[in-house]
Amino acid sequence: MAGRALVVIGMLTLAVTLPVSRASADPIRITAGSMIADDRDVGSVDIQGTQGFKLRLDLDLSDERGPWNCSPCGPPGTSKSLSGFFTSGAGSGTVQLDGASYPVPDQAEVFLRPVGGPVILPPLSAAVVLSAPFELDPGALSLHDVGGVPLQEFTLIGSGTATIELTPNQSGVPVWEFVRVRYEFSPVPEPTSVLLLGTGMLALAAKRPGRQ
């Protein structure tokens, strides 16, 4: 409870854009949602996790590190990393924690780092969809003011599948071009669900008749 209280205090401070130290709280496990980049300039984040955590953001992908900076992505046979770096100096959105909602300051820089891939670009065709597992870089969510002063940082953990959509270059050059990348989080069973599953399996094993 003390850890959650510290995170809530940190988010209240974040709402008024006052610098604070890193919150000492249990990591937030992301259990559902996605991060999407539809082109080289625009992205969105809509994820949720433990401790009642929800994050919704629309981002300018002002940083060039990521699959979206992929025009062209390369010829067939090229190895392509699905790691990304969602960042913006003009993000807008909200954070929810323990049932309370807090605005992300307009002048906060937002950093989220999915780590995935690599994949090999296949022979050219009408279009292609490639996927690979990804994980969030520990300490994935950080909010800074534009001057670089830390406002707040949260340790997010989670994993899922990264999917990239490509299309052939329309000018006839034999290379792939970027269309969209999506980081879809896998649901994580609650500890009570895992316990119930384990208990059920033990019960089934106990009922199994012995060998003659």
pLDDT digits (tens, 9 = 90+) for 170-188: 888 999 999 999 999 998 6
Nearest alpha-carbon partner for 127 in 78, 179, 163: 179
Residue 166 confidence class, pLDDT cut points 50, 70, 90: very high
User: Higher pLDDT residue, 172 or 200?
Assistant: 172
User: Higher pLDDT residue, 32 or 41?
Assistant: 32
pLDDT at residue 17 is higher than 70? no
Beta bridge partners of 178: 166
If you average pLDDT over every residue of the chain, what do you get? 74
**Under 8 Å between Cβ of 67 and 165:** no
> What token pair was written down for 30?
């992301």
User: Higher pLDDT residue, 210 or 27?
Assistant: 27
Nearest alpha-carbon partner for 168 in 78, 72, 77, 81: 72
Looking at residues 117-143, what average pLDDT do you find? 88
Percent above pLDDT 70 for the chain: 64
Nearest alpha-carbon partner for 33 in 20, 45, 18: 45
Q: Answer yes or no: pTM beyond 0.85.
A: no
Instruction: Give the HSE-up count for residue 141: Cα atoms under 13 Å, Cβ half-sphere.
Output: 25
pLDDT at residue 38 is higher than 50? yes
> What token pair was written down for 85?
């770096």
**Under 8 Å between Cβ of 82 and 132:** yes
Measured at the alpha carbon of residue 74, what is the angle toward residues 140 and 172, in degrees to the nearest 5?
A: 135
- Residue 114: CB atoms within 10 A of its CB come to 25
pLDDT of residue 147: 58
Q: DSSP character for 204?
A: H
pLDDT of residue 100: 79
pLDDT of residue 165: 95
pLDDT at residue 46 is higher than 90? yes
Residue 105's contacts (CB-CB under 8 Å, 6 or more residues apart) are: 14, 15, 17, 143, 145, 151
pLDDT of residue 14: 33
Residue 127 confidence class, pLDDT cut points 50, 70, 90: very high
User: Higher pLDDT residue, 56 or 192?
Assistant: 56
pLDDT at residue 6 is higher than 50? no
pLDDT of residue 7: 30
